[in-house]
Amino acid sequence: MSPEEKCGVLHGKYELGRLLGHGSFAKVYHAMHLQTGKSVAMKVVGKEKVIQVGMMEQIKREISIMKMVKHPNIVNLHEVMASKTKIYFAMDLIKGGELFSKVAKGRLKEDAARKYFQQLISAIDFCHSRGVYHRDLKPENVLLDEEGNLKVTDFGLSAFSDHLRQDGLLHTTCGTPAYVAPEVIGNKGYDGAKADIWSCGVILYVLLAGFLPFQDDNIMAMYNKIHRGDFKCPPWFSSETRRLITKMLDPNPNSRISISKIMESVWFKKPVSRKLNEK
Ligand code: ADP
Ligand code: MG
């Protein structure tokens, strides 16, 4: 713990509280903005790692972009602070947990999945139009607020978290490639927009099926399935659902559907019932 964390007050501005969660390279704490009494989530990243991988300049660039990217379905980054040893990201506190805790209780009906998917695509489209790519869309990065609205977290920041994980060990423990596009696994350089669309396709599949499209106990067998785009739709998927998911999970990024075409699809455009919107 840094001295700032030990005494519980950060930069004279925030009182740090309990640990909310941690990923493979950061810890996220509850914090209170002393002047306003407002609660925030404070993500803490060790500076040493960032400097080690020579990412400081890129991080500064990404942060200035993130501060400009404001969208109702993206976790808002308020400000960034630094101490000698740490970087602190003050962001909106999202209290409804992860979207996938909903799926854990059972797969979603088409209408409910459509509401979340529309919000997810709206967030992704907004960022892509500003040249920001997520590159790490997965369950832990999709949260729900208290009104049941979807909030994507880690947007833009994932570009450098990838680098931080390049020490190999951390990379393997950071887990499942289940949401990652084949061209990303191939490590050949890729189009961030197309990679995000693939991950959204996996997320939509999971919402409607209750399980992953690409699964295997053997990691190499799973990679092979991803590379071939080898998945099956369960019988309860409608033909429109199948059509859209198949176009999103196209292993060839060049022929994979674009965001604008997703938004024009019959499945996407169906109105969501008012009851869901009021939730
Ligand atoms: P990492 O980049 O190391 O994976 P994350 O940004 O994913 O770190 O944060 C780790 C965990 O902290 C998340 O999985 C989530 O449970 C929690 N968390 C992150 N951001 C917020 C937030 N804004 N509000 C509430 N909880 C959050
Ligand atoms: Mg994470």
Quick one: tokens of 14? 């925030």
d(CA 89, CA 177): 26
Residue 35: pLDDT above 70?
yes
Q: What pLDDT does residue 266 have?
A: 93
Catalytic residues: 136
Categorize the per-residue pLDDT at 3 as very low, low, confident or very high, splitting at 50, 70 and 90.
Answer: very low
CB atoms within 10 A of CB 82: 11
Task: Quote the DSSP letter at residue 76.
Answer: P
pLDDT digit string (tens) for 171-228? 333 345 788 888 887 766 778 889 999 999 999 999 999 999 999 999 899 999 999 9
The closest ligand to the CA of 100 turns out to be 1
Task: Give the DSSP letter string of 50-66.
Answer: HHHTT-HHHHHHHHHHH
- Report which of 147, 139, 106 is spatially closest to residue 279, judged by C-alpha positions: 147
Average pLDDT, the chain: 85
CA dihedral 20, 104, 171, 59 (to 10 degrees): -50
The closest ligand to the CA of 90 turns out to be 1
- Regarding the beta carbon of 94 and ligand 1, being less than 6 Å apart is answered yes
Categorize the per-residue pLDDT at 152 as very low, low, confident or very high, splitting at 50, 70 and 90.
Answer: very high
- Regarding the beta carbon of 161 and ligand 1, being less than 6 Å apart is answered yes
Q: For residue 43, give every residue at least 6 positions away whose Cβ sits within 8 Å of its Cβ, in sequence order, or none.
A: 26, 27, 28, 88, 89, 91
Q: What pLDDT does residue 161 have?
A: 59
pLDDT digit string (tens) for 39-55? 999 999 888 877 776 77
Quick one: tokens of 65? 């972009």
- Regarding the beta carbon of 25 and ligand 1, being less than 6 Å apart is answered yes
Q: What pLDDT does residue 177 have?
A: 78
CA dihedral 98, 101, 102, 107 (to 10 degrees): 130
Q: How many C-alpha atoms does 128 have within 13 Å on its Cβ side?
A: 17
Q: Which residues pair with 79 in a beta bridge?
A: 90
Contact (Cβ atoms closer than 8 angstroms) between residue 13 and residue 52:
no
Q: What pLDDT does residue 115 have?
A: 95
Q: What pLDDT does residue 176 have?
A: 58
Categorize the per-residue pLDDT at 168 as very low, low, confident or very high, splitting at 50, 70 and 90.
Answer: very low
The answer to the question of whether 47 is labelled as a binding residue is yes
**Ligand 1 pocket: which of 99, 153, 170 to mutate (most atoms <8 Å of CB)?**
153
Q: What pLDDT does residue 187 have?
A: 64
- Region of poorest pLDDT, from 67-81, 82-96, 125-139: 125-139
Buried (b) or exposed (e) across 8-43, using 16+ Cβ within 10 A?
Answer: eebeeebbbeeebeebebbbbbebbbeeeeeebbbb
- Does ipTM surpass 0.95 in this model? yes
Quick one: tokens of 54? 């020579």
Q: What pLDDT does residue 160 have?
A: 57
